Amino acid sequence: SQTIHQWPATLVQPVGSPLSLECTVEGTSNPNLYWYRQAAGRGLQLLFYSVGIGQISSEVPQNLSASRPQDRQFILSSKKLLLSDSGFYLCAWSEGYRGLNYGYTFGSGTRLTVV
Amino acid sequence: KQEVTQIPAALSVPEGENLVLNCSFTDSAIYNLQWFRQDPGKGLTSLLLIQSSQREQTSGRLNASLDKSSGRSTLYIAASQPGDSATYLCAVRSGSNNNDMRFGAGTRLTVKP
């Protein structure tokens, strides 16, 4: 069966420090991968998605970047964190080449607090 | 552009009550609709996935219906329990791009013992 792992679960970082959040998927090949942010009291905002190694699409201009160095690994990064980067970050995957009839599966999330 | 609305934003019911959560979407050309549950500080757990060709899906005490033509879905929870307390999100997948999943803002459900 497929599983998705996301870490760390919580992170407190000072303003200006770098960030690296990692997400890995097991039990599937060539998944579509997604990074979402959920601000307090707000809905889910899609940040990045990837349909293959090295292929990254950005949804909104921001201080963050994403990379996909391996088929089932998705990394969210920042060189210098801002206070506004605080939030709950969620990784998700869906079937890639099988098409659009499959749903999304989410990781357990990372609570990032920038101080 | 697809927009997804969930009503009510919050709901509080006594234990044992049957309840309905509503989800509406503006564009009926969808591939599927998915209901999620989110506990505080946790990720989203998929509850039910309804394909565009289906009318409903059931899992235990949960039943989700889909009326694509009217742009509506309902999540029915039978015999609610305090453990059902969570935020329930509806998401609609439409369009041929891989980023065409739209989420509602969610309904926060509280089931009181």
Q: Which pLDDT belongs to residue A43?
A: 83
Percent of chain B predicted with pLDDT > 70:
96
- Mean pLDDT score of chain B, rounded to an integer? 94
pLDDT digits (tens, 9 = 90+) for B2-57: 899 999 999 999 999 999 999 999 999 898 999 999 999 899 999 999 999 999 99
**C-beta atoms of A49 and B98 within 8 A:** yes
Q: Which pLDDT belongs to residue A2?
A: 86
Residues in CB range of B8: below 8 A, 6 or more apart: B22, B107
Q: Which pLDDT belongs to residue B7?
A: 93
Interface test with A, best of B44, B87, B96 (most A CBs within 10 A): B44
- Of the candidates B32, B45, B104, which has its C-beta nearest A101's C-beta? B32
Q: What is the band of A99 on the pLDDT scale with cuts at 50, 70, 90? A: low
pLDDT digits (tens, 9 = 90+) for A23-65: 999 998 889 999 999 987 778 989 999 999 999 998 877 789 9
Q: Which pLDDT belongs to residue B101?
A: 87
Using a CB–CB cutoff of 8 Å, tell me whether A103 touches chain B.
yes
Cα separation of B11 and A7, whole Å?
32
Q: What is the band of A98 on the pLDDT scale with cuts at 50, 70, 90? A: low
Q: Which pLDDT belongs to residue B84?
A: 98
Q: What is the band of B70 on the pLDDT scale with cuts at 50, 70, 90? A: very high
Q: Which pLDDT belongs to residue B1?
A: 83
- Of the candidates B34, B42, B96, which has its C-beta nearest A108's C-beta? B42
What three-state secondary structure class fits B43?
coil
Average pLDDT over residues B65-91: 97
Q: Which pLDDT belongs to residue B34?
A: 96
